[in-house]
Structure formats: structure tokens, C-alpha cells
Amino acid sequence: MKVYLKEIREHYPEFEIRNYDEDAFFTAFNHDSRNISENDLFVPIVGEKFDGHDYILDALTHGASVSLCESSRCGELQNINKPLILADSVEEGLEKILNYAISPIKVPVIAVTGSTGKTTTKKMIVKILQSNMKVLSDDHSNTVWGNAALLSKYVDEKAVVLECAMDRPGEIAWHVNSVDPDIGILLNTGHVHSEKLGGIEGVFKEKKDLADYMERTGKPLILNIDDERLHSIKDGYNKESELVTFGKNKEADFVISDISVDENGTHFYFSYYDNTIPVNLKVFGEGYAYNAMAAIIAANLLQVSMEDCVKYVEEFEGGNGRFEKLEYGDNLVIINDAYNANPISMDMSIKTFGSMYDENEYHRIVILGDMGELGNISEQEHKELGELVKSYNFDEVYYVGEMFKSFGLGESIGSADEVAALLNEKLGTLKGKKVAVLLKGSNVIGLYQIPDFLKKLGIVN
């Protein structure tokens, strides 16, 4: 990527450019002033607790060749002699400049969004596609500025796979207008970031912006119609636009059936036209069937054979705190599903754990933590979680977080390290018994750290 400032002036005359230099150019987008490379375009992201405008001088001093800047803020900046592109907002500036900068990229761009399963679906798509082609993607980027930095690295890959997250109104529309996806995937809607978005209907409205974009451009949208709200998109979708649906619903183009989970993984069948195909995943949970189905459809749209789609998705392994199965000897298994938590993923985790580990065979310990950013439905959602857990008759239940009273079950524990100390003691008394432990809570609770704590305490290797 190499974009000259004179190109930006020509294409976007609405942007004022201070310290204009027609020979100036940038080769990458960067929003982290601590990690600037030569000839970066610095993007001063404005957050709730930080303002990137405070670091523009530092970024330009350390090698950035150009910086974005909001017009209202430029008067505060002193001693700057490199170009500043002035826009009404950083969002507007980044959207337009990124969209122009990536215009030479002519390979398919896949955008994945949904309340849960985005990262897993992205990784499954990459797993399949890499068997046939070079792919640009990574494990961490899911914001507009993060994906801008990722797209800066494009060389000659044959496909780009992006995860599109959001935590405030307008972010999905901003995302898709910036990266111009060729295939969109809409997985589900749930109470994730609903506190900032005005409830589940606000979440749906934001996610629907991806569908609206794909419908408007006529490019393929892959849609889970088992989600009641997403099904409503299908009902009113433009017949001239390309829509591919999946789910258990018999109306779907790809019908999922017979989902089961055991200690070997998740198993399901899918049918399309006159074909019915079995899939045996190495990961655990009904939700993974939906992730795999979306990945298979996306890869198949890029001309990967159905046989290869299934073969390589079956090789996918999860990990990283997403229902990660950690076995210690013959008698202890810890399910680390504490990367994050919301009502959808919590429900799947509890049900999967309960079905995988029989109460007559295992001593079952469940350790849960708060689900964050639920707003005024938080109390009710945690109460419903407690009712679900109660129905499984687990041997021991512990809870970390402020919502314990609403959860209303088991014993309250102060922190993740206190849980580790408790488990250290408990596991010592349960030697000789088969024990299964579930860890599930929002990332901020820190339950994902417990396996490492236990290793330090010497109870597991």
C-alpha cells in the first residue's frame, strides 16, 4: 500500500490539509502512537477514557508521515510541520481514506459479525481457505482501525477475512462502508453491548446494517435464520440480491440437523439440494455447528469444494478460552470457557457442560462470573442464569462478581485467585474421583487465569 497525499486531495476535496506536501505519502494505517513505523498514517482514535489527538505530535515525531485530525481540534496542536488531514470526525476521515486506500485490492473480502461466534467463524473460514489459497486475516483485529492496520499488510493474498465488532451505535455501518465487503456473514443477535445500544432491538438494528449493505450492493449475505430477528431480514430481502440462509429451519438453503455433543466434539449433518453431509468438529457446543456452517458456505462461495470445506473445518481446533478442554491426568478436566460471557454463550456453555459430563460419573464443579454490559436487563438475565444452573444439579457452584445476589445460587467468591486457592484445596480432597470443572464469565472477571494459577500452585501440570 502506498497512497500519496495528492491522491487524497484529488478524491476528497472536502478535507482541508494542513502543511500540504504533494510528495508526502503513507504506507499503512496505525492508531497506536507507541508502535509507529516510518510512513504510517496516524489515526487518533477518540474513546471514552482517551483521545488520540493528544498523541499526534508524538506519532509524527516518531515516523508517521501524515495524521488525521478532527477540524475542531487542530487549533490545539503546536509545532507540527507534517501534513494533517482535517475532517469533521475521525470516523469520517478513516472511512473515506481507508475505502480509497484498499480500492486496489481486487480479491474477495469476507466480513463476519454477530453477537457471538465471530472470532471462531473467522478462524474456521481461514482454516478452510488456507488449504487452497493465501489468506489475509489475524486473530485480534475486529475494529475499523484494527482492520485498517490489517488491510495495510495486503500483498498478494487471494482472500481477506475480517471480523466486525461493535459496541456503540453506527459502528457496523461505519465498518462496512469502510471495508466494502464482498461476502457478509450475520450469525446471531443477543444481549451483547445492549447497555450502550438500548436493548436487544438496538443490537439487532446495528447488526442489520451489514445485511442492509449487502442487500444494497447485491453481494452475497450468509444469514442464520434460526435467529428470530434475523429471520425477519429474510422475509423482506430484495429478491434481486444474493441471500444464502442456514439453520435448522427447513426454509434454509443449508439445513442443519442432528446436532450432538460428546467428549470427542460436536457432530451434525447439513443438507443442501439433494445432498446430506456429516460434519464432526473437534470443538464443543451446539453454537459451533452454526459457526462451521457459515464458514463452509463462505468458503464454498469462493470455489472451495464442499469436500474440502468439510475436511478442513473438521481439523479446526478451538482453544484460547473458548470452551477449551484441558485434561490433567485421567481424572480431572477443566473447561476454560472464560474468554467472555453473554446470555447466548452462557446458555450454550452450561448446557454443553451438563450434557458432556454425566452427574453419575463426574463430580461437577461450576464456577461462573458476571456477564457485562447488559444494562437494565442484567438482573433478570443473571436470575435466569441461576435458574438454568439449578436445573442441572451440579455438585458445587461458585460465583465471582457483583451479580451474585441476582444469580441466587451457590457460594460467592471474591476473585479469580481466591477461586484458584479454593480449587487447590477442593481438588486435593477429591483425589481418586473424576472431576469436571467449568469456568465461564466475562473476561474482566479473570476466570480464564485459573488454569495458570493452579499450575503455579502445583495442583496440575
Q: What is the pLDDT of residues 21-47, one digit of tens each?
A: 999 999 999 999 999 999 999 999 988
pLDDT average, residue stretch 404-413: 95
Lowest-pLDDT range of 4-13, 53-62, 424-433: 424-433
Identify the H or E element spanning 412: strand 411-413
| Residue 187 burial (CB count, 10 A) | 27
Please tell me what DSSP assigns to residue 396.
E
* Sign of the C-alpha dihedral computed for residues 126, 308, 159 and 162 taken in this order: negative
Q: Which residue spans within 237-347 are E strands per DSSP? A: 243-247, 254-262, 265-272, 275-281, 324-328, 332-336
d(CA 180, CA 175): 8
The pLDDT of 270-283, averaged and rounded, is 96
Instruction: Write down the pLDDT at residue 196.
Output: 55
Please report which confidence band the pLDDT of residue 448 belongs to, taking 50, 70 and 90 as the band edges.
very high
Q: Is 202 helix (H, G, I), strand (E, B) or coil?
A: helix
pLDDT reported for residue 321: 79
Identify the helix (H) or strand (E) that includes residue 25.
strand 25-26
Structure-block grid coordinates of residue 82 = 507534517
Supply the mean pLDDT for the chain: 92
Query: In sequence order, what are the beta bridge partners of 114?
Result: none
Arithmetic mean of pLDDT, 388-402 = 95
Gap between the Cα atoms of 277 and 268, Å rounded = 9
**459 or 36: which leads in pLDDT:** 36
Mean pLDDT of the 417-445 span: 92
pTM of the model: 0.89
Quick one: pLDDT band at residue 193, thresholds 50, 70, 90? low
Residue 315 is predicted with a pLDDT of 97
The mean pLDDT value for 127-148 works out to: 95
Decide yes or no: CATH 3.40.1390.10 for domain 3-98. yes
**Start-to-end C-alpha separation, the chain:** 46
Amino acid at 77: L
pLDDT at 456: 82
Phi and psi at 26, nearest 5°, equal: -130, 155
| 353 secondary structure, DSSP code | H
**Domain 324-457, CATH homologous superfamily name and number:** Mur ligase, C-terminal domain (3.90.190.20)
What is d(CA 103, CA 433) in angstroms, rounded to the nearest whole number? Answer: 60
What is the C-alpha separation between 409 and 264, in angstroms, rounded?
Answer: 30
Give the span between the Cα atoms of 58 and 253, in whole angstroms: 53
Residue 193 sits at φ, ψ, to 5 deg, of 60, 20
Confirm if 277 and 310 have CB atoms less than 8 A apart.
yes
* Distance in angstroms (rounded) separating the CA atoms of residues 163 and 172: 11
Is residue 112 within a helix (H) or strand (E), and if so which, with residue range? strand 109-113
Q: Which three cell numbers stand for residue 316?
A: 479446526
Residue 126 CA to residue 129 CA, distance in Å, equals 5
Phi, psi of 301 (to 5 degrees): -65, -25
Q: What is the pLDDT of residue 77?
A: 85
C-alpha to C-alpha distance for 174 and 263, rounded to whole angstroms: 41
Assigned CATH for 104-313: 3.40.1190.10
Q: What is the pLDDT of residue 195?
A: 54
Position 267 pLDDT exceeds 90: yes
Q: Residue 219's pLDDT is what?
A: 97
Tell me the DSSP string of 277-303.
EEEEESS-SHHHHHHHHHHHHHHHHTT
pLDDT at 406: 96
Stretch 8-19: mean pLDDT: 96
Q: Kindly write down the DSSP assignment for every residue of 47-107, as one continuous string.
A: -SS-BGGGGHHHHHHTT-SEEEEEGGGGGG--S--S-EEEES-HHHHHHHHHHHHTTT--S
pLDDT given at position 340: 86
pLDDT of residue 156: 96
- Given a cut of 80, whether residue 319 has pLDDT beyond it is no
Domain boundaries of the chain, sorted by first residue: 3-98, 104-313, 324-457
pLDDT tens column, 230-246: 999 998 899 999 999 99
pLDDT for the residue 180: 96
Do 132 and 196 meet the contact criterion of CB atoms below 8 Å apart? no
Q: What percent of the chain has pLDDT over 70?
A: 98
In terms of Cα–Cα distance, which of 108, 107, 127 is closest to 292?
Answer: 127
Task: Please check whether the two domains, 104-313 and 324-457, share a CATH topology.
Answer: no
Nearest Cα residue to 159 out of 142, 181, 187, 185: 181
What percent of the chain shows pLDDT beyond 90? 78
